[in-house]
Amino acid sequence: MPEQFELFHAPSSLDTPPPNRHLVLHGRIVAYALRRNRRRLALHIDERGLRVGAPRVFPLADIEAFIQTHADWVVRKLDEFSNRTAPRHLPLHDGAELPVLGETVRVCVTAGGNRGYWKKGELWLAARPAADLAALARRALQRRALEVFQPRIAAAAAQLGVTTPALALSSARTRWGSCSTHSGIRLNWRLIHLPLPLVDYVVAHEVAHLVEMNHSPRFWAQVARLCPDWRSARAQLKQQGAALPLI
C-alpha cells in the first residue's frame, strides 16, 4: 500500500487531481495537490506525489506550515517513490492486467451501461464513452471481495465458537483490517489482490480479536488456531502488500 504518515487513519481518495500548488522543502520545490474535503489535516504520498487533505476553512499558511513540520518525511518518501522501477498506479484500459487473489486477471472493456462483471476469469467493464473505468473496476473488485471474505469470516468465527460478526469493507491506507465488538469487522477491499492464504491470515487476525481484544500471547494463540502458519503469512503480507497496484 502507498506510504502514509500515520497522523490519522483517514481513508484517502485515489482520484485526486494533479498537484496544483508548490512550496520549498529543504531547498527543493515540491508540488502538492490540496483537497479541502477532510475533517483533519493529513498527508499522503505515492508515486503520483504529495497530496494534502484539509478542512475547508483551514488557512493555507497553516496547511503549508504543517507540511514544513514534516518536511523530512515528505522528502524522504518522495525520493523513495521516485527511485522505484515500477509504478504502482495502474491505468485501466482494454487488455490491462491486474492481480486478483494472487492470479493475473485480464480486463476487457466493452460498450455498456457502466457496470463491471466477471466472465470466464476475466473482469469485464461495460462502459459508456465517458465512464471512469477505474471506478467501475473498484466496484467490481469490492463486490468480489465481499463474496470471498464473508464465508471465511463465518468459518473462522465458527471455529472459535463466536457469533459471526458484521462485515464491512475499508479503503484505509494504513490498516488491512479492524475489529469492534459493537460494529464488527472491517477488511481492506484491496486484500482481494492477494493470495487466499494471506487473506485468511488477516481474517484470522481480526476474528481472533473477538476473543482477545489485545495482542497478548492469548491473542496469538487464537490466531494460530485459525492460521497455524501465521508468522510466514504475516511476513508475506508485509512484502506483497507493499507492491499492490493502485486503481
- How much is the pLDDT for 100? 96
> What are the chain's domains?
21-82 (no CATH), 138-241 (3.30.2010.10)
**Contacts by 107-115 with C-beta closer than 8 Å and gap 24+?**
107/137, 109/133, 115/140
- By the 10 Å C-beta count (0-12 exposed, 13-18 middle, 19+ buried), 57 is classed as exposed
What's the pLDDT tens digit per position in 16-56? 344 468 888 988 888 888 988 888 899 988 767 888 999 98
pLDDT confidence bin for 136, thresholds 50/70/90: very high
137-151: b (≥16 Cβ within 10 Å) or e: bbebbbbbbeebbee
Tell me the pairing of strands 184-188 and 177-180.
Answer: antiparallel
Query: How far, CA to CA in Å, does 213 sit from each of 123, 167, 175, 182, 218?
Result: 38, 17, 16, 12, 10
What's the pLDDT tens digit per position in 192-232? 999 999 999 999 999 999 999 999 999 999 999 999 999 99
- How much is the pLDDT for 239? 86
What's the pLDDT tens digit per position in 170-184? 987 768 999 998 899
pLDDT confidence bin for 141, thresholds 50/70/90: very high
Query: How far, CA to CA in Å, does 151 sit from each of 18, 155, 169, 217?
Result: 40, 6, 14, 27
Find, among 241, 244, 246, 219, the residue nearest to 230 by Cα.
Answer: 219
Mean pLDDT, the chain, rounded, equals 86
pLDDT at 91 over 60: yes
Q: Which of 11-20, 64-73, 86-95 has the lowest mean pLDDT?
A: 11-20
Contacts of 151 (CB under 8 A, 6+ apart): none
In percent, how much of the chain has pLDDT > 90? 61
Whether the pTM exceeds 0.85: the reply is no
Give the residue-averaged pLDDT of 91-117: 92
- Cα 156 to chain centroid distance, Å, stands at 23
- List the grid coordinates of 60: 493555507
pLDDT at 10 over 80: no
